[in-house]
Amino acid sequence: MTQTAPPSAPSRPASGLDLTPPDAAERAALEADLSSEERRVLLAHGTEAPFCGTLLGEKRAGVFCCRQCGLPLFRTATKFESGTGWPSFSEPVDPDHVRAVRDTAYGLVRIETRCARCDSHQGHVFPDGPPPSGDRYCINSVALTFVPAGAALPDPLGRGDGTA
């Protein structure tokens, strides 16, 4: 998981996907497509209520992508039942796809996770996950879009991101 600011020039991690942030017009189009709850979580760093997210029980093979920009963030193979009420993953598709940001809200010190391409809030990562990573990425369902294995990835920025 990278801990740097979002890139300003074209950037391609090991996955080969373009992590260049959306420009102002692209960002406006992405944000216009969000529901009020998606805006509250993704843009205002909110949290959905536990045990109500639509992706909590999703077990089909595939990938979980950023709801805002479509970047693949997590695979079903790394999803596990944490009992917390939010989808939990042990590692991202590519460590460069998820940014870590120190979060001191509510008098706590946590690590917020954000999409490395569009900087949308996804959730938090905690050091109490299963081996081999030991990490638990606790992610809001509303921040994700599920794509079944073999299906086309969402590509709202027209970057030719491929299939799950």
> Parallel, antiparallel, or unpaired for β 72-75 and 62-66?
antiparallel
Q: Which of 65, 66, 69, 138 does the annotation list as catalytic?
A: 138
Contact between residue 13 and residue 96 where contact means Cβ atoms under 8 Å apart:
yes
Structure tokens of 63?
């990938």
Q: What are the backbone dihedrals phi and psi of residue 156, each rounded to the nearest 5 degrees, phi first? A: -65, -15
**3-state DSSP of 7-37:** CCCCCCCCCCCCCCCCCHHHHHHHHHCCCHH
**Rounded CA separation 63/76 (Å):** 6
Contact between residue 121 and residue 145 where contact means Cβ atoms under 8 Å apart:
no
State yes or no: is 138 an active-site residue.
yes
**Rounded CA separation 150/63 (Å):** 10
Contact between residue 31 and residue 23 where contact means Cβ atoms under 8 Å apart:
no
Residue numbers annotated as active site: 138
